[in-house]
Structure 1
Amino acid sequence: MHPPEGDPTHPRTPPPRHRPHESALTPGDSARYDVRFASRAAGIVSSVMRDLMSLSERPDIISLAGGFPNTESFAREMFDEVIEVVARDHLASALQYGPTEGLLEMRERIVEIMGGDGARVGVDDVMVTTGGQQAIDLSIRTFVNPGDTILAEGPTYPGAVPCFTTYEARVEHIPMDGDGLRTDLVEEALSRLAAEGRTPKLLYTIPNFHNPAGVTMSLERREHLIRLAHDRELLIVEDNPYGQIRFEGEPLPSLWELDDGAGWVIHLSTFSKILSPGLRVGWVAAPASVLRKMNLGKQAADLCTSTMSQRFIIEYMRRYDWRDYVQRLNGIYRSRRDAMLRALEEEMPPEAVWTRPEGGLFVWATLPAYLDTTHLLASASEKHAVGFVPGRGAFLDGRGGDSMRLNFSGVPEAVISEGVRRLGVAVSEMTELHRALGGLT
C-alpha cells in the first residue's frame, strides 16, 4: 500500500537529478561540437614542438626537441633587484592595462636594439607583441585570406605551421642549402605562379640561424631577395629571433636594413632568446599602415602585452647591458653546439648529414632515406628515453620524413652527448630492422 500523496510522514524518494557530467554524450565525445566548429578549425595543424613539450616533463628522458634557451645563467640577484624596483616604483602601472602598441619606453628600447644592428627604425614603426609567436600570427592574419598562396622555406619553422593552417594558406615551400633560402628558386616560383594567375601574398623567412635548418642566408642572397621584392612587389616577413645568438662569423645586414624604408619587409623578433621566453615579449617593425591593421588584430586577441613583463625588461635594460648577458649565453651555446657536433660524428651512420650552425639553437640532421624519423621518435622516446622534433613537422607537403631537428641549447654538454648516444642506438636498431626485412644488402 502506497502512502497517500503529500503525506509528510512518508516522503517520496525524489527522482535522481540530472547531472551534466553524467550525460551519455561526454565532453570527450566530439559529436556535439563537430557541427559547430568553424571550417578553418578542421584544417589547423598542431605544432609538433608543442606536442612534444610533455617529453621535457619526464624526468627519465633527454629532450633534444624543445627550443629552450638557457635561463639558468640569469643571475638571481639581478632578477631580485629588477623585481624590487618594479614593485617599489611602478607597481600600480605594472598591474594595469597598457597601450596595445606597447609602452613607449619599451618601444624605444627595441629601436635601440635594432639600431645597434644597423637598422633604421623609429618608435612609431614598432609594436610590442606577446612573444614572437604572436608576431608571426598577426603577420599571417593581417594579410592572408583562405586559399591565398604564401612562400616559405622548406623546412620552415614548425611553430609557424599552425599559423599557416589556421588562416588556410596554400604554402609553397622553397628549398634551402648551406647558404640559406634558394632565392633563384624564389624567382622561378614567382614566375611560375604568375603564369598560373597566382600572386603570393608574402614570403616568410628566417634568414639568421634558421629554425630548424640552422643555416644562414648569405649576403648575396639577401640582396637578391630584396631586388625581387622591389621588382616583383613581394612582401617579405623576416623572422629574426636568433640574430643575436652568433658564435662565429660576422653579422649580416637584416632584410629590413637592406630594404631601406621601401616598405617591402616586415621584421619580427623577440626577447625570448636574448633575455627570457617566460616574459613573452616580442615585436613587429612594419610600415604604419600595416601596424594599424595589426593593432586591431592584437586588440581582438589580448588587448595588450603584459605590462608587468614590459616593465621588467625596461628596468633590466636601465641597469644592465643586455649584450653582456647574450655574450655569456653565446659562450655556453657554442660549447653545447660543439658537443652535439662531436657526438653526431661518433654516433650517426656514415650516410647521415647535418648542418653546422654559426649561431642559433638547432642542428638539422638528415638520415638515410629508408629511415622515417616519425617512427624513429616513437622508438627513441619509449625505448631509449630521448626526444627530438621529426622533420615532417617542418613541412606542409609531406616532406622531411628522413630529417630531424636537434636542440643543443637546453641541456648541458654531457647530457647532449648521452642523448645523441641514445639516439644513435635507436638509429642502429631501425637500420638493423630495415636490413632484416631485406631493405639493405
Structure 2
Amino acid sequence: MKSSAMRDLMALTERPEVISLAGGLADTTLFPAEDLAKVLSHMAAGDSARALQYAPTEGMAEIRPCLAEVMAAEGTIVDPDDILVTTGGQQVIDLVCKTLVDPGDVIVAEAPTYPGAVPTFSAYEADLVQVEMDDDGMRIDVLEETLDRLEAEGRRPKFIYTIPTFQNPGGVTMSLERRHALVRIAQERQILVLEDNPYGLLRYEGDPLPTLLSLDGGRFVIYAGTLSKILSPGIRVGWALAPAPVRQKMVIGKAGSDLNSSSMSQLFVAYYFRERDWRDYVRHQSAVYQARRDVMLEALERHMPDGTTWTRPKGGLFVWLTLPDYLDTTDLLARALQHNVAFVPGRGAFLDGRGGNSMRINFSGVGEDDIREGISRIGSVIAEQLELYASIAGTARPRGGSTRSGTKDARTPDAPHDSSIVPLRTAGRRRGTA
C-alpha cells in the first residue's frame, strides 16, 4: 500500500517554525469565531439530542438541501434526495473504489493527479493509468489513444477520475470544449467519470464553467463535493451524486464503513446555512486567497532560478512548479525542511514514479509574509542545487527563458544526481547576494 505524501508531511509541517506550503488547507482563522459560537449554541439549544444521536446513512434531511444549494451556485441543479452525505470528499473516492474496483482493475486519471487519491487507488490494488494535461486540462486526444490501447488489450477502465476545475495539484482548469468531449467519450464508450469538485467556487478570474455532471445529466458522471475548502475541513462534510445503481451500492458501502457521517457536523451545517449567508464567507475567502495567489506568483517571479516553470491558477489553492529534470524534489524537501519550509514533492501525484522534478505549493494556508519568505527559501534551495550540479558538470548554471506555464526552459539532463552533497549556500547568503 502506497503511503500518502500529505499524511507523511503533516507531522513535519506541524512544527511551528516550519512555513508549510504543503497542505491543501483552508485558512480557518478567517471564519468569525463569534459566528461559530452562536451557531453551535443555537444548535445545542435546539437539537442537542439529535446532534448526539445516529443519523440516516444517506444523510440528515436538513443538510441535503444546503448541499444542493452549493451546487446550484455553480449552475448545477440536483434533487436533494439524490445526495449521499459523506465524511468529507475523500470518502467519496473511497466508496467509489469500494463499489467498483477489484484488484487489477484500471482507473484512468490525470497526470499529475490528487496526491490523496493515489494511496486510495493503491489500497484497492487498482492499475492507475495517467493521462497528460496541458493548460486546458486533461488532453482528450491522449485520453482517446489510451482508451483505444486499453480496449485492444482487453482492459476496460472502471472509471475516469478528474478534477476539472482548478485541478489539484496542477492548478489548471479543463476547457469547456474538453468538458463536452469528455462527457461525449463517457457516454459513447459507457465509462463512468468521477468528477471531484472541491474548489469550483474559489474562482479568482474568468467565467464559471459547467460541471461535468450538469453536462451529462447524471447518466455516467459521479460527482464528489465537499465543504472542506469553502467552510471547514474539520467538520468532515462531503457528498456524492451518482447514477442510481452506483449510489445504492455506495450507500451500502458507507453503512459498512461508518454507519453515518457525524450528526453534529450535519446539523451544524444546516444551522449555519439557516442563520448566516455562506456565500459571503466564500466571497471573503476568495478575496483573501486571490491576494495570496498574487503574492505567490510575484514571489515566484522574483525568487525562482532560471530553468523552473509554474502554472498560474485562476482559482483553487495550488501552483504546480516544475524544475529541470535532473533535480528531485523529494531530495529537495529534506533540504527545504532544514530551512524550515515545506512543499509536496511531485512523486506523490503519480503511481509510476514520475513527477520527481515537480512540486505542489499551496497559497491558501499561510499569510502573505510567510508566502514571500517560504518561496524565497524554496528558491534558495533550488538555486543551490542547480549551482551544485552545474559545478559538477563543469558548466554554467542553466539559464532559461520565461517562467510562465507552457514555456520551454534550458535543461541539463546529463548532469549527475547525488542527493548526499551538502548545499553550497544558505538561503540567507543567497538573499544577501541577490
Deviations along 1:20-72, whole A, 9 cap, x unmatched?
A: xxxxxxxxxxxxxxxxxxxxxxxx11110111011321121111101111111
Q: Compute the displacement of 1:439 (Å).
A: 6.4
Q: Indicate conservation of the 8 Å contact 1:174/1:185, yes or no.
A: yes
Q: Compute the displacement of 1:124 (Å).
A: 2.7
1:164 alignment counterpart: 121
**Cα distance in 1 for residues equivalent to 2:286 and 2:229:** 11
Q: Equivalent residue of 1:104, what SS?
A: coil
Runs of 4+ in 1 over 4 A off after TM superposition: none
**For 2:140, which of 183, 192, 205 is the aligned residue?**
183
Identity %: 57
Q: Equivalent residue of 1:404, what SS?
A: strand
Q: Indicate conservation of the 8 Å contact 2:74/2:201, yes or no.
A: no
1:69 alignment counterpart: 26
**Cα distance in 1 for residues equivalent to 2:30 and 2:337:** 28
1:207 alignment counterpart: 164
Structure 2 residue 360 is matched with structure 1 residue 402: no
**For 1:377, which of 324, 333, 355 is the aligned residue?**
333
**Cα distance in 2 for residues equivalent to 1:60 and 1:50:** 19
Q: Compute the displacement of 1:115 (Å).
A: 2.3
**For 2:232, which of 276, 284, 291 is the aligned residue?**
276
1:303 alignment counterpart: 259
**For 1:89, which of 46, 50, 56 is the aligned residue?**
46
The one-letter code matched in structure 2 to 1:46 is S
**Cα distance in 2 for residues equivalent to 1:206 and 1:350:** 30
Q: Indicate conservation of the 8 Å contact 1:272/1:280, yes or no.
A: yes
RMSD: 1.0
Q: TM-score, normalised by structure 1?
A: 0.88
Structure 2 residue 322 is matched with structure 1 residue 366: yes
2:402 alignment counterpart: none
Q: Compute the displacement of 1:288 (Å).
A: 2.0
Q: Compute the displacement of 1:123 (Å).
A: 2.2
**Cα distance in 2 for residues equivalent to 1:174 and 1:276:** 31
The one-letter code matched in structure 2 to 1:331 is A
Q: Equivalent residue of 1:312, what SS?
A: helix
- Unpaired segments of 5 or more residues in structure 1? 1-43
**Cα distance in 1 for residues equivalent to 2:80 and 2:238:** 15
Q: Indicate conservation of the 8 Å contact 1:124/1:288, yes or no.
A: no
Q: Equivalent residue of 1:217, what SS?
A: coil
Q: Compute the displacement of 1:437 (Å).
A: 1.9
Q: Compute the displacement of 1:84 (Å).
A: 0.6
Q: Compute the displacement of 1:126 (Å).
A: 0.8
Deviations along 1:397-439, whole A, 9 cap, x unmatched?
A: 1110110000000000111000000111111111122123226
Q: Compute the displacement of 1:184 (Å).
A: 1.4
Structure 2 residue 337 is matched with structure 1 residue 392: no
**Cα distance in 2 for residues equivalent to 1:402 and 1:435:** 16
Aligned length: 396
**Cα distance in 2 for residues equivalent to 1:347 and 1:76:** 36
- Unpaired segments of 5 or more residues in structure 2? 397-434
The one-letter code matched in structure 2 to 1:61 is V
The one-letter code matched in structure 2 to 1:297 is G
Q: Compute the displacement of 1:353 (Å).
A: 0.5
1:239 alignment counterpart: 196
1:53 alignment counterpart: 10
**Cα distance in 2 for residues equivalent to 1:248 and 1:439:** 44
Q: Indicate conservation of the 8 Å contact 1:55/1:63, yes or no.
A: no
Structure 2 residue 173 is matched with structure 1 residue 216: yes
Structure 2 residue 306 is matched with structure 1 residue 347: no
Q: Which has the larger radius of gyration?
A: 1
Q: TM-score, normalised by structure 2?
A: 0.90
**For 1:314, which of 270, 283, 286 is the aligned residue?**
270
